[in-house]
Amino acid sequence: MILNVKKKNFIRLFVSYLIVFFMVVVIIYPLIWTVGASFNPGNSLISTSIIPKNPTLDHYKELFAGKESLQYGQWYLNSLKISIFTMIGTVISVSFTAYAFSRFRFKGRKNGLVLFLLLQMIPQFSALIALFVFAQMLGLMNSHWLLIFLYIGGLIPMNTYLMKGYLDAIPVSLDESARIDGASNTRIFLQILMPLSRPMIAVIAMNGFTNPLGDFVLSSVILRDPESYTLPIGLYNLVNDVMGASYTTFAAGAILISIPVAVIFVMLQKHFVSGLTAGGTKG
């Protein structure tokens, strides 16, 4: 009997490790290949191995060589600007919207939640023509700020659902106790609910930062001037037009995109755990 239990536990453990190993390979292998390609001499991926035989930094230097047709540094700054402001705008707008839906009962509340759900089901590309015409009518083609507002608007519905669900799990008795002590809705929101919601705020901030950084479809519709390009558009043109399908240089540019994402994750990761206790002892 004991041997059978041990055998079953061994099989379960083996299957678990096998699944984890498979997922790690699926996720890590493309990343390792891209890193290897970025250090590999030449322009083709056909001759690229995971570990380059003669690693070189030439592709990274080429990105910042200052060529008129290759404005990688400008594209990088454009992407960071759009991602940072989208992250800030998304966190602020989603926090207020979710708080209203979670703590207040008003006319049209249920319909508003249903509308958010329906908007989330509509693919983004279905509105591209309308957005293009809208940008032309306002004279905001190549405008980063229009793109930022569009990203924020697209991120509000789903993130509001996530944030509302998190706020619903926070006892309303905390709000009532604070009101007895004379706290206003603003103080309850800022000093009680927001500190307790740090894990979800961190998730929303991460979504708000990474979504514009990897978007190609919407940004390619609004941005037409090479100086206003973001990294996805710039790297796409880099492979197709500028450098004659230099995939290894593309790999180097793609690797550098992950740096700000890693930095933001490191800055926010402590809030994923500590947020639940951050506001519990505040007066």
Q: How many domains does the chain have?
A: 2
131 shares a domain with 23? no
251 shares a domain with 204? yes
102 shares a domain with 37? no
CA quadruple 40, 31, 125, 166: dihedral sign = negative
| Distances from the Cα of 2 to the Cα of 7, 12, 30, 43, angstroms | 9, 15, 43, 60
Q: What is the pLDDT of residue 191?
A: 87
246 shares a domain with 208? yes
217 shares a domain with 120? yes
Full residue range of the structural domain in which residue 158 is found: 68-278
Contacts of 249 (CB under 8 A, 6+ apart): 43, 59, 62, 63, 238, 243
Q: What is the pLDDT of residue 169?
A: 86
In whole angstroms, what is the distance from residue 185 CA to residue 191 CA? 10
| Per-residue pLDDT reduced to its tens digit, 137-178 | 888 888 999 999 999 988 888 888 888 888 888 888 888 888
Upper half-sphere CA count for residue 235 (Cβ side, 13 Å): 21
Confirm whether 189 is domain-assigned. Answer: yes
Q: What is the pLDDT of residue 242?
A: 55
Q: What is the pLDDT of residue 115?
A: 82
Q: Which tokens belong to 47? A: 């001759």
76 shares a domain with 56? no
| Per-residue pLDDT reduced to its tens digit, 183-203 | 888 888 888 888 888 888 988
23 shares a domain with 90? no
In whole angstroms, what is the distance from residue 44 CA to residue 34 CA? 12
Residue with the two structure tokens 């083709």: 44
Q: What is the pLDDT of residue 180?
A: 86
204 shares a domain with 220? yes
Please name which of 84, 51, 104 lies closest in space to residue 210, comparing C-alpha atoms. Answer: 84
Q: What is the pLDDT of residue 273?
A: 59
In whole angstroms, what is the distance from residue 109 CA to residue 101 CA? 7
196 shares a domain with 101? yes
Q: What is the pLDDT of residue 32?
A: 81
Please name which of 31, 54, 33, 50 lies closest in space to residue 42, comparing C-alpha atoms. Answer: 54
User: Angle at the Cα of 211 (from 76 to 48), degrees rounded to 5?
Assistant: 60
99 shares a domain with 9? no
Q: What is the pLDDT of residue 62?
A: 79
Confirm whether 283 is domain-assigned. Answer: no
Q: What is the pLDDT of residue 95?
A: 93
Confirm whether 240 is domain-assigned. Answer: yes
Amino acid at 81: K
Percent of the chain with pLDDT over 90: 13
Q: What is the pLDDT of residue 48?
A: 55
Upper half-sphere CA count for residue 205 (Cβ side, 13 Å): 19
257 shares a domain with 120? yes
Please name which of 209, 220, 243 lies closest in space to residue 86, comparing C-alpha atoms. Answer: 209
Q: What is the pLDDT of residue 209?
A: 93
Amino acid at 100: A
CATH number of domain containing 142 = 1.10.3720.10
Residues (pLDDT < 50) of the chain are 275-283
User: 142's torsion region: left (phi>0), alpha (psi -120 to 50) or beta?
Assistant: left
Upper half-sphere CA count for residue 180 (Cβ side, 13 Å): 6
123 shares a domain with 13? no
Q: Return the number of other C-beta atoms located less than 10 Å from residue 51's C-beta.
A: 10
